[in-house]
């Protein structure tokens, strides 16, 4: 049964190939069946694989499958091979499970779109690439999946290609992540040149034996891999692409930009945790990046008005938590939060999609309001999702976030600071979630909603809501793929403060947006508040900085040198030749006798030279 592992990624690939080959001529009714069906089969297969693998003893939960010899040159060789252990199984289930639900949802969401076949083809390709990423046995194959999901992200963000701004967002996402990917590729080269292999398990084993902890090589390698991770996972300083990526259809935002692809960086670091453990400075950096990112994007989420951008910043913030966990060595807590986040953030995006669909593509929360009555199902599932997001007790998000914050507190000297940042982030999360809920779903109805969604939108919402609530109980055992980190019991007051922080945020939000005790407008009257709001709204002005640092100079340079300066050199030679031509033209008088005289003098000169020399 485990031998069928290869079918899990290749089923979506088959779906992609069928949908592409049909060139959109397939009857519309069949398209979702192929698109969602292929992923559904994968999910079923993945589930049965999970039962089989988990039935084994923890140490034996490893399965390798080599499909073919990919490439070899000299002492370098990699196979097209899959590696299944508890960590990749966890990812496998998330990707196929949540992926399947989102595919089902898409059948409803995209029902009226003329390019539905193309949409499902891209989605299937994405699932294929993502599965390759999580199953890869070696780093080049992981890189294949890594770039593949990036490509699909590009294709799907720019899915509605008639609008140039969608294309811009798509290219921005691809290029920015490519910056990180290039760092990651260099990391691969470094690891190969030093360790002589790119097989993940083998490389980790060799790194642990060959490299002393804290030395320069593991630090450099970990830093380069971290570059890839922050690009893909939209962390500081490469987080700028994710908010713009919301230009894509909403199911895409749920699948790619919330549940799966953006967490690939977390997966990468967890996968290569042995390397990061050798580089304590880099690990501290990971934690710091996570802490700063979660705070910065939490503030940004506070000021957004577009429902999807709020959720996008919230995603960046939640991945910040995962990085925080990775940085303090709480590997399994990071993966746990990844899993629960996949549930509740997919739920929130799908709910937002249902809202947007009902409001005819209205995304501004201040033009919504009162949706509580018109869209009751969406409202209740959305509340569940938000509760998990802000980590109210007994939701899935509570367990994972709590574990992260407690691990952070107990992690050495910087621990309390990291904990404080995380807890402040939790307050922010409560605040912006409450704001979103109260503005969009309560109050007066500002846009007429037409709830014309069918069961293929409703069912995924309900299933995901159940998972968001109960997902915290079904935590997959990740040992021995990831080392066990016992969360030592910290003082009760810290645990209490961690639990209470979201409530504080919710309370503030309630006071501001429900009772009007403290009005947001009044806050904005304070000196400097408007500037701050604008700064947060623009994502701390990072786009502005990058435009001026990289984009504009590059474009200016390209414009300046459109005609290729090197060609001037050759044009110079041409000009010189022309000049010589012009100078000698007057000697061509057409006077035969002058030519004869010229020949005479020439001959005399040569003779004279011959005689006198």
Footprint of other proteins (CB under 8 A): 20, 23-24, 68-76, 80, 140, 143-144, 146-148, 151, 154, 158, 161-162, 164, 167-168, 170-171, 174-175, 178-179, 181-182, 185-186, 188-190, 192-193, 554, 557-559, 561-562, 564, 566-567, 569-570, 584-593, 596-597, 600
167, containing H or E segment = helix 164-195
Closest CA to 315 of 363, 258, 277, 400: 258
Closest CA to 351 of 328, 327, 377, 325: 377
- In the complex, what is the shortest distance from the CB of residue 328 to other proteins, in angstroms, rounded to a whole number? 30
Query: Rounded to an integer, what distance in angstroms lies between the CA atom of residue 535 and that of residue 529?
Result: 10
DSSP secondary structure letters along 80-119: EEEEE-HHHHHHHHHHHHHHHHHHHHHHHHTTT-TTHHHH
Cβ neighbours of residue 494 closer than 8 Å, sequence gap 6 or more:
406, 409, 419
Query: Rounded to an integer, what distance in angstroms lies between the CA atom of residue 254 and that of residue 243?
Result: 13
CB atoms under 10 Å from CB of 601, counted, come to 10
Give the residue with the Cβ less far from other proteins, 455 or 589.
Answer: 589
Give the residue with the Cβ less far from other proteins, 55 or 585.
Answer: 585
- In the complex, what is the shortest distance from the CB of residue 22 to other proteins, in angstroms, rounded to a whole number? 12
DSSP 248: S
- In the complex, what is the shortest distance from the CB of residue 143 to other proteins, in angstroms, rounded to a whole number? 6
Give the residue with the Cβ less far from other proteins, 52 or 543.
Answer: 543
- Cα dihedral sign for 509, 511, 513, 517? negative
CA distances from 539 to 151, 232, 475, 542 (A): 24, 17, 34, 6
- In the complex, what is the shortest distance from the CB of residue 75 to other proteins, in angstroms, rounded to a whole number? 7
Question: Which pairs from 195-198 meet CB under 8 Å and 24+ separation?
Answer: 196/75, 198/76, 198/78, 198/138, 198/139, 198/140
- In the complex, what is the shortest distance from the CB of residue 70 to other proteins, in angstroms, rounded to a whole number? 7
For 611, the token pair is 């005689």
What is the Cα 610 distance to its own chain's centre?
82
**First vs last Cα of the chain: how many Å apart?**
97
Query: Rounded to an integer, what distance in angstroms lies between the CA atom of residue 371 and that of residue 138?
Result: 48
- In the complex, what is the shortest distance from the CB of residue 585 to other proteins, in angstroms, rounded to a whole number? 4
Give the residue with the Cβ less far from other proteins, 33 or 168.
Answer: 168
Judged by DSSP in three states, 410 sits in coil
For 6, the token pair is 């290869």
Give the residue with the Cβ less far from other proteins, 2 or 603.
Answer: 603
- In the complex, what is the shortest distance from the CB of residue 181 to other proteins, in angstroms, rounded to a whole number? 7
- In the complex, what is the shortest distance from the CB of residue 271 to other proteins, in angstroms, rounded to a whole number? 17
Give the residue with the Cβ less far from other proteins, 179 or 295.
Answer: 179
- In the complex, what is the shortest distance from the CB of residue 76 to other proteins, in angstroms, rounded to a whole number? 5
Query: Rounded to an integer, what distance in angstroms lies between the CA atom of residue 315 and that of residue 321?
Result: 10
Give the residue with the Cβ less far from other proteins, 154 or 432.
Answer: 154
Give the residue with the Cβ less far from other proteins, 23 or 488.
Answer: 23
Indicate the Cα dihedral angle 307, 313, 315, 316, nearest 10°: 170
- In the complex, what is the shortest distance from the CB of residue 111 to other proteins, in angstroms, rounded to a whole number? 20
Judged by DSSP in three states, 510 sits in helix
Give the residue with the Cβ less far from other proteins, 237 or 477.
Answer: 237
Give the residue with the Cβ less far from other proteins, 544 or 550.
Answer: 550
Give the residue with the Cβ less far from other proteins, 69 or 450.
Answer: 69
- SS3 readout for 121-155: HHHHHHHHHHHHHHHECEHHHHHHHHHHHHHHHHH
- In the complex, what is the shortest distance from the CB of residue 157 to other proteins, in angstroms, rounded to a whole number? 11
Judged by DSSP in three states, 563 sits in coil
């Amino acid at each position: 049964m485990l031998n069928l592992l290869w079918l899990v990624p290749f089923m979506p690939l088959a779906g992609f190939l069928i949908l592409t080959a049909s060139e959109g001529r397939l009857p519309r009714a069949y398209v979702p069946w192929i698109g969602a069906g292929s992923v559904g089969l994968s999910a079923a297969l993945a589930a049965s694989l999970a039962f089989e693998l988990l039935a084994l003893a923890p140490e034996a939960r490893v399965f390798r499958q080599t499909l073919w010899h990919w490439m070899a040159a000299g002492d370098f060789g990699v196979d097209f091979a899959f590696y299944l252990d508890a960590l990749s199984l966890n990812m496998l289930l998330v990707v196929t499970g949540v992926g399947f639900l989102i595919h089902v949802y898409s059948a409803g969401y995209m029902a009226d779109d003329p390019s539905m076949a193309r949409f499902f083809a891209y989605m299937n390709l994405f699932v294929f690439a993502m599965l390759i990423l999580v199953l890869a046995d070696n780093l080049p194959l992981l890189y294949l999946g890594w770039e593949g999901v990036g490509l699909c992200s590009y294709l799907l963000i720019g899915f509605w290609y008639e609008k140039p701004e969608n294309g811009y967002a798509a290219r921005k996402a691809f290029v920015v992540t490519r910056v990180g990917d290039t760092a990651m590729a260099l990391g691969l080269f470094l690891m190969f040149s030093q360790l002589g292999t790119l097989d993940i398990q083998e490389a980790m084993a060799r790194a642990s034996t060959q490299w002393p902890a804290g030395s320069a090589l593991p630090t450099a390698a970990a830093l380069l891999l971290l570059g890839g991770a922050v690009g893909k996972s939209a962390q500081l300083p490469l987080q700028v692409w994710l908010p713009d990526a919301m230009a894509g259809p909403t199911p895409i935002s749920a699948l790619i930009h919330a549940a799966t692809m953006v967490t690939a960086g977390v997966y990468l670091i967890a996968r290569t945790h042995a390397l990061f453990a050798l580089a304590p400075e880099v690990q501290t950096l990971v934690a710091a990046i996570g802490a700063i990112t979660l705070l910065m994007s939490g503030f940004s989420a506070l000021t957004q008005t577009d429902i999807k951008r709020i959720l996008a910043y919230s995603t960046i913030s939640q991945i910040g938590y995962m990085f925080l966990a990775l940085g303090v060595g709480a590997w399994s807590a990071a993966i746990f939060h990844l899993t629960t986040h996949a549930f509740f953030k997919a739920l929130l995006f799908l709910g937002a999609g249902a809202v947007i669909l009902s409001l005819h593509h209205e995304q501004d929360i201040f033009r919504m309001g009162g949706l509580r009555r018109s869209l009751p199902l969406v409202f209740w599932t959305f509340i569940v999702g938000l509760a998990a997001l802000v980590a109210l007790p007994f939701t899935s998000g509570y367990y994972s976030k709590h574990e992260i914050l407690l691990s952070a507190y107990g992690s050495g000297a910087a621990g309390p600071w990291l904990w404080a940042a995380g807890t402040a982030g939790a307050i922010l999360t409560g605040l912006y979630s409450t704001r979103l809920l109260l503005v969009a779903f309560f109050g007066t109805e500002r846009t007429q909603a037409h709830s014309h969604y069918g069961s293929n939108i409703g069912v995924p919402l309900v299933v995901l809501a159940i998972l968001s609530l109960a997902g915290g109980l079904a935590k997959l055992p990740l040992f021995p793929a990831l080392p066990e980190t016992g969360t030592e019991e910290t003082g009760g007051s810290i645990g209490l403060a961690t639990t209470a922080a979201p409530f504080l945020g919710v309370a503030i939000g309630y006071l501001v947006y429900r009772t009007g005790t403290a009005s947001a407008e009044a806050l904005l009257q304070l000196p400097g508040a408007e500037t701050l709001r604008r700064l947060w709204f623009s994502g701390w002005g990072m786009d502005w900085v990058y435009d001026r640092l990289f984009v504009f100079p590059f474009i200016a340079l390209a414009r300046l040198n459109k005609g290729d300066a090197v060609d001037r050199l050759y044009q110079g030679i041409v000009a010189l030749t022309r000049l010589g031509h012009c100078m000698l033209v007057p000697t061509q008088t057409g006077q035969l006798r002058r030519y004869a005289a010229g020949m005479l003098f020439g001959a005399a000169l040569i003779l004279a030279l011959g005689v006198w020399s």
